[in-house]
Amino acid sequence: MDRNSVVGIILIVAILFGYTLYTMPSEEERARFQRETDSLALVAAERLAAEAETKREAEATEAIPEQSAIIPDTALSPADQALIDSLQTAQRARRFGPFTPASTGKATDVTITNKHLTVTISTHGARPTVMLLKEYRTYAQTPLLLADPDSGNYELKFIVGGSDLSTRDLYFDVEDVQEDAVQLIARTSDPARSLRISYRLDSATYFMHANMEFVGMQGEVDPRNLLFRWEIAGFSNEKHQPSELQKCGVYYKYFNDDRNYLSETGAEQKKLEGRTNWVAFKQGFFTLAMVSEEGFSSNGSEIAITPLDSPTHTKHYEAKLLFEKGRDAAPSLAMRYYLGPNHYGTLRRTEIADFDRIMDLGWGIFGWMNQWLVIPIFNWLDGWGWNYGIIILVLTVVIKLLLMPLTYKNLVASAKMRVLKPEMDVINEKHKDGDALKKQQATMELYRKAGVNPASGCVPMLIQLPVLYAMFRFFPASIELRQEKFLWADDLSSYDSVLDLPFTVPFGYGDHVSLFTLLMAASTIVYSLINQKQMPTQQGMPSMKLLIWLFPIMMLFFLNNFSAGLSYYYLLANLISIAQMTVLKSWFVDEDKIRLQLEKNMRTPKKKSRWQQRLDDLQKQQQGRKR
């Protein structure tokens, strides 16, 4: 293995493990995350206890007539019964004001559907309870729900007549219902005044439109105080929950800034600091998002996420959102809810700014490589209806063919260095105990005369790094690979296992053996050994042989729990690289011709570059000073 290959390998390791170390919390951060989690859990428990107490008090209040019914009819006179009824009515009137008629009722469910979604709306609170994606199933092959129906709160809080009210305490009537839409109404004592909430599913997308309007209540309800709150707990839907948890997060987008997100490793709560276009609860391969065209206000809006210690759930999400409303604006709210998959093309077609960046395809050039090279090729191959194992194979071949000119340049550069090795050995022997500057100058002079650029072999390797890292981000994020089988892998988006261990191997390896990862590591060793045999021994680098074994072993531990599709791709890339190296060196890289060309170059006088001339002048000045 030559110096350039080693530099490339070290850079790959540095990027992969540097990214892992960068995202891995320290002991202090883990302690802080745990304290925050415990604190948020305590606050949530206190909140739930308070809500339960309020609910019990409300139920006790509402139950007065039923309790009176326990007393035999003969025990109460009509006047006493009327008094009890009037007290109960007065109590509700003080609590709910004009919405007293909506304070009692019976909860029923209304279901709307399109080709992608089935959403159930409860008339108690007019809230979505069941949000089911028709085209997907969990790893256990159960219906896939975007949230636990009993996991959190959904409400619109408002002030009317001096009373703080919430839709969660109101019962709505179904005013109109169609297959893909429903309109609900919370009535007041005045037929001309009401709260109307409607939901409508797009016919061809994953959006549900929500509209909340106070009819005939202009001036009674301050639009600046409308607070929308949604809490959910995400189900664990995938094969490997630890990997799924790493993909769960709260994403948000200010109108005048890039997409941002909360911690994906611990609990975090944040007050929004700018007018916000959208907030998304990302759950592995699926997302529930709230989108506002007018924007969520920075004055009081908050978002939060808390990991859940549960085998059936992932994280608890919460958003408390106010709106950019003026005093004289209509007391109404309009939003869109995205209830769908994290599929790049689907997210991009929403035409919402940065919405496709809910998928983490890598930062900078790595993300661009995925967007403009990998994903277009993958989507084109996907249109042929092949098995995804075959698609990954063809994708690898196409990418390696596109990179073949760089591979060829790297091999030519390595061949030139092999040809120059005898001259390099002479220089090293001559200056082994001498001035390091003179040795460097002699080396550079040899390169100049021979017409060799020592960095020419490293540059092609550096250019290929974005593709390697882009794949590292692409495969684990690709919903297309979810639950797709190939050979012994039952889910290319998660790890493959040919042996489940009765114990857990430390250092992140896990409790199973991934055969694709094992083969990938073995192919890396074989490639490195073949490459090393054909390269000149590099002096001053005694750890070269150690790297041949150390790097694959590190990747073996690192990738054992990653996507089987990723390990399969790296395996194919190694095998194709071995084939390319063998064919190119046998048929296209003629070392005899290269040697003759370099000898001709060394015999041909060359004009020194400005940089070389300055280096020579500097050396002469230093020698003159020594004299």
Quick: pLDDT tens for 240-270. Answer: 999 999 999 999 999 999 999 998 888 999 9
The band of 181, judged by pLDDT with boundaries at 50, 70 and 90, is very high
Residues 15 and 143 in one domain: no
Q: What is the pLDDT of residues 556-565, one digit of tens each?
A: 888 999 999 9
Residues 82 and 119 in one domain: no
Domain count of the chain? Answer: 3
* Owner of token pair 């072993």: 553
Give the domain extent around 36.
32-96
Q: Which of 44, 75, 96 is the last residue of a domain?
A: 96
What is the pLDDT, as a whole number, of residue 570? 93
Q: Is the pLDDT of residue 10 over 90?
A: no
611/197: higher pLDDT:
197
Does 612 map to a domain?
Answer: no
> Positive or negative, the Cα torsion across 543, 549, 553, 555?
positive
Q: In whole angstroms, what is the distance from residue 390 CA to residue 409 CA?
A: 29
488/550: higher pLDDT:
488
Residues 286 and 434 in one domain: no
Mean pLDDT across 11-25: 55
Does 508 map to a domain?
Answer: yes
Residue 213 · residue 318 · CB < 8 Å? no
Q: Kindly report which listed range (131-135, 197-201, 535-539, 610-614) carries the lowest average pLDDT score.
A: 535-539
Q: Is the pLDDT of residue 496 over 60?
A: yes
What is the pLDDT, as a whole number, of residue 38? 44
What is the pLDDT, as a whole number, of residue 359? 92
- What are all long-range contacts of 390-395, with beta carbons under 8 Å and residues at least 24 apart? 392/492, 392/565, 392/568, 392/569, 392/572, 393/572, 395/569
Does 614 map to a domain?
Answer: no
CATH number of the domain enclosing 208: 2.70.98.90
What is the pLDDT, as a whole number, of residue 463? 67
Residues 476 and 552 in one domain: yes
Non-local CB neighbours of 306 within 8 Å, separated by 6+ positions: 37, 40, 41, 44, 267, 315, 316
Q: What is the pLDDT of residues 301-351, one digit of tens each?
A: 999 999 999 999 999 999 999 998 888 888 999 999 999 999 999 999 999
Residue 266 · residue 36 · CB < 8 Å? yes
Residues 278 and 379 in one domain: no
Residues 423 and 475 in one domain: yes
Residues 414 and 335 in one domain: no
The band of 50, judged by pLDDT with boundaries at 50, 70 and 90, is very low
110/360: higher pLDDT:
110
pTM for the whole structure: 0.78
Return phi, psi of residue 584, to 5°. Answer: -65, -40
537/76: higher pLDDT:
76
Q: What is the pLDDT of residues 423-444, one digit of tens each?
A: 777 777 777 776 677 777 777 7
Residue 145 · residue 132 · CB < 8 Å? yes
Residues 217 and 340 in one domain: yes
Does 330 map to a domain?
Answer: yes
Does 474 map to a domain?
Answer: yes
What is the pLDDT, as a whole number, of residue 552? 84
Q: What is the pLDDT of residues 439-462, one digit of tens each?
A: 777 777 777 777 777 666 566 667
Q: Cβ–Cβ contacts within 10 Å for residue 63, how many?
A: 12
Q: Is the pLDDT of residue 519 over 70?
A: yes
Name the residue among 453, 400, 312 with its Cα closest to residue 576.
400
Q: Kindly report which listed range (34-48, 188-202, 362-376, 607-621) carries the lowest average pLDDT score.
A: 34-48
Q: Cβ–Cβ contacts within 10 Å for residue 430, how many?
A: 12
Q: What is the pLDDT of residues 266-293, one digit of tens each?
A: 899 999 999 999 999 999 999 999 999 9
Residues 469 and 582 in one domain: yes
263/132: higher pLDDT:
132
Q: Is the pLDDT of residue 19 over 70?
A: no
What is the pLDDT, as a whole number, of residue 360? 87
Q: Which of 68, 96, 124 is the last residue of a domain?
A: 96
Q: Which of 96, 120, 139 is the last residue of a domain?
A: 96
The band of 581, judged by pLDDT with boundaries at 50, 70 and 90, is confident
As a whole number, the mean pLDDT across the chain is 82
Q: What is the pLDDT of residues 582-624, one digit of tens each?
A: 888 888 877 778 778 777 777 776 666 665 667 667 666 666 6
What is the pLDDT, as a whole number, of residue 215? 94
Q: Kindly report which listed range (82-91, 426-435, 488-497) carries the lowest average pLDDT score.
A: 82-91
Q: What is the pLDDT of residues 323-336, one digit of tens each?
A: 988 888 889 999 99
Q: What is the pLDDT of residues 55-80, one digit of tens each?
A: 444 544 443 344 334 344 456 667 65
Residues 299 and 441 in one domain: no
What is the pLDDT, as a whole number, of residue 67? 39
Does 430 map to a domain?
Answer: yes
Does 617 map to a domain?
Answer: no
Residues 481 and 578 in one domain: yes
Q: In whole angstroms, what is the distance from residue 415 CA to residue 452 CA?
A: 11
Non-local CB neighbours of 157 within 8 Å, separated by 6+ positions: 164, 165, 166, 167, 226, 227, 228, 229
C-alpha distances out from residue 503 to 69, 70, 499, 500, 508, Å: 62, 61, 11, 9, 13
Q: In whole angstroms, what is the distance from residue 318 CA to residue 306 CA?
A: 9
Residues 72 and 135 in one domain: no
What is the pLDDT, as a whole number, of residue 44? 43
Q: Is the pLDDT of residue 528 over 80?
A: yes
The band of 174, judged by pLDDT with boundaries at 50, 70 and 90, is very high
Does 611 map to a domain?
Answer: no
